[in-house]
A and B are shown apart, each in its own frame.
Chain A
């Protein structure tokens, strides 16, 4: 059974017919040709499909497209096109926070989400004081980025990139 939904993706509004079984990830990749979010597991276990959905990071493989009618989605391509990258993307380049690049759009979207969550004072599993505004310490960043697997093992460099984007420079 098909349903029509509308999605705003990277600033462009689309109306698209989807099967009720279609995930948000497949709606993006397969129906709309938006392939910046990647499919690494299709089961919510790897983070490759992370986008910013209505401003917050979100896995698109565990979401059925029909329940996101009207959603506003920003992918890594929308954060910064190739010729006008977001500062986090620039930091990934400078620190070589990628190898094969398949997890990278998800890592980038997650990093943007993480910095925003820190700014808004959301605590994490490693926050000592749940009331205080958490600092973007290495432990906090690692913990918060842990939903995004990178089999190439770029973690050390991704951390350096996110740390720089968090305003902590080369520390």
Chain B
């Protein structure tokens, strides 16, 4: 593999609003999602059987009745499923033994000729368990396990200076506990795939058409477990109906389909996880408890920041949300400390959900900052000005382009912040208390190693550009085409982009706001090397594959994006109902490559943040260990009527320290700080400080 240092790209197509290239396919419903791909042979349908105890063993599994049902072909369980070569991933190593690690875990897979018979067959499988005592409740007192690191590989704890002494000497102390609930990503396309196992010939053995955020990630997770070489597994995902992190890593249903496909003599297996099953099987955000302490001078200058996080992981596979990570770099304070402790529970495996760490952590931090502003009698924006750090408090490095204050000031102007009453419960409109709130947003800039792209000249001055990236709704089809066009200095119409296939050059996950930066960097590197090697008018059929060399300059900086979120909340005086008629986000994210689709991403993040603020809560019944709110009628997400004046804008800038495109990544930041801005607005409206999401009506009733 050739590594090429990518030179900064001059924008021509980048920066212009470009209608989604896959848009026509999508508005007509012609874009095929995972199980909609026509298979070579009529597939068998798989239906999952899930455990009904939280911990224990399957003592007997009787498939007789299921097998007798017309249409049912086979039932796979731990006694007859193919063996895995590696069972260290406790989430993916299903059907290997009788152990049950959480309620809802896959204990059997029914294969049948139709969806209806598969479903009926699953209902007819009789499973008996030897149940054992389980633990499924997160509390501060049982969150005592200290992980070696937190997601993805950050320090578990940090400690600088003497926090206790600084708090003892502070004029003002805020010492409160903030909570965020379990949340489920709930993309509209449920997780689904078609798996085909064919070991008759050379080459691909396992072929998956999957709904995933990373085709190569699925290959590298599944292949070794199944005893296959990476080259023997092919994963395709041309169109994916959202993911928000839940499709970032493979989950157990993907293994279920792969194992099932191995038993069918080459016949494809189609498996669509149901909406209800998603609440146990496809990841979620852990609930978090943040004890937050801020110590400040009476004018609001911070002296100490202490953020102790208590959250949960699963006993069968560790996942530690990096909830305190933004606390480490957000504001200046000489004495500072963060920690993460986990309760290890017999529950489904938590995973990434949009802005893991930043989303719950900044709810706590930005609500605490609002409390400090009130306690010191200073405007919340002035408080943030006062505590702006000169360099990154965590690493000591200079920031590449920290424009938090510019975002706050621009937002204040557009939102009409000045003239806001200083005190709470100061404005009413009929039966509604009215208030406004603000919060900061931040998200780290990340470029993942391990991406490469292939550029090939075609007839007529056209170019094929290929990388195994995935468009989960972010606009990658369009944005990568724009980047390739600028990198090759041609019109976007001359680019034929290929993505969503693990047989293309390697690409990392569509996640962590790192997709466009990582894939785009590889495309720029390969394009520039292509021009170097083959000139401006190459013969058709020549090609270059390359990855971007790591940029040593970027190492010298603390790379982050910033934003400011403003909300107006109205809280009904008698019912406690909360409405948010206005929500504005202003962002500093480097260059915006496609303003049309970028705005959608920001609005989408803000809308999901609003949804988290007002509605979202997965309720776990600790007695049984499962999520009770396991459908869209009980797990409420925002709908049209909830979303009124949501707006987003961004600062006009570019950041070539971050990427050769000058961009930094935009997928997550819209959800960060949003629920704090709404909560702060409800405080301003009512004078009631709610420190727990969601902000349901009952919290505002006396």
Contact = CB atoms under 8 A, between A and B. Distances in A.
A24 interface: no
Interface in A65-112: 75-77, 79-83, 85, 89, 92-94, 96, 98-105, 108
Interface string B270-283: 00101100000000
Contacts of A30: 114-115
B20 A102 contact: no
Interface residues of B, number: 62
Given A99-B242, A99-B474, A100-B472, A22 B188 contact: no
A104 B189 CA distance: 11
A153 B240 CA distance: 15
A165 to B, nearest CB: 12
6 cross-chain pairs, A with B, having the tightest CB-CB distances, nearest first: A36-B29, A100-B473, A102-B241, A153-B607, A101-B26, A105-B29
B605 interface: yes
Interface of A: 19, 21-22, 26, 29-30, 33, 35-43, 45-46, 48, 75-77, 79-83, 85, 89, 92-94, 96, 98-105, 108, 138, 141-143, 145-159
Contacts of B242: 99-100, 102, 151-152
A19 B114 contact: yes
A21 B120 contact: yes
Contacts of A96: 19-20, 23, 596-597, 599-600
Given A93-B20, A100-B189, A103-B188, A43 B633 contact: yes
Contact of A82 (B30, B473, B601, B637): B30
Contacts of B19: 93-94, 96
A94 B643 CA distance: 20
B27 A85 contact: yes
Contact of A101 (B31, B601, B611): B31
Contact of B28 (A39, A42, A89, A141): A89
Given A19-B114, A102-B33, A102-B189, A153 B606 contact: yes
A38 B605 contact: no
B116 A40 contact: no
B32 interface: yes
B603 A154 contact: yes
A99 B473 CA distance: 4
A48 B640 contact: no
A149 B604 contact: no
Contact of A35 (B32, B114, B633): B32
Interface in B180-202: 186-190
Nearest to B187: A151
Given A41-B631, A153-B603, A157-B600, A142 B28 contact: no
Given A26-B115, A38-B188, A100-B241, A82 B24 contact: yes
Contacts of B186: 151
B493 interface: no
A1 to B, nearest CB: 10
B600 A46 contact: no
A136 B240 CA distance: 33
Contacts of B116: 19, 21-22, 26
B120 A101 contact: no
Interface in B143-202: 186-190
13 contacts: A22-B115, A36-B29, A39-B272, A41-B632, A45-B275, A80-B28, A82-B24, A82-B30, A85-B28, A100-B239, A143-B640, A151-B188, A153-B603
B532 interface: no
B631 A43 contact: yes
B646 interface: yes
Contact of A142 (B24, B25, B605, B640): B640
B1 interface: no
B430 interface: no
A156 B631 contact: no
Contact of A75 (B24, B29, B274, B601): B29
Given A30-B115, A102-B242, A151-B242, A48 B20 contact: no
A145 B188 CA distance: 16
B27 A89 contact: yes
